[in-house]
Amino acid sequence: MVGCGYHTINDYYQIGSAKGNAFDVLYADSTWDRVQAWDQRALDSRKRVTGVDVLC
């Protein structure tokens, strides 16, 4: 994602990788995961991602 703030998406992902700012991955079931700045982590690939909130 380019730019701060909320971005709508609709897909399934296995890995989240931050190339700068931290971001929250928002799932369809109202749960979320945070990927820290300059880090990567496994995401729950069984859950549909509905948005990403890039923290600035």
* pLDDT (tens digit per residue) in 1-56: 789 999 999 999 999 999 999 999 999 999 999 999 999 999 999 999 999 999 99
CA distances from 50 to 8, 25, 38, 42 (A): 6, 8, 22, 17
CB atoms within 10 A of CB 15: 10
Q: Considering the domain boundaries, does residue 1 fall inside one?
A: no
Q: Considering the domain boundaries, does residue 38 fall inside one?
A: yes
pTM of the entire structure?
0.91
pLDDT for the residue 2: 83
Are 43 and 25 within 8 A, CB to CB?
A: yes
pLDDT for the residue 1: 79
What range does the domain containing 17 cover? 6-54
Q: Considering the domain boundaries, does residue 17 fall inside one?
A: yes
Domain count, the chain: 1
Q: Considering the domain boundaries, does residue 45 fall inside one?
A: yes
Q: Considering the domain boundaries, does residue 48 fall inside one?
A: yes
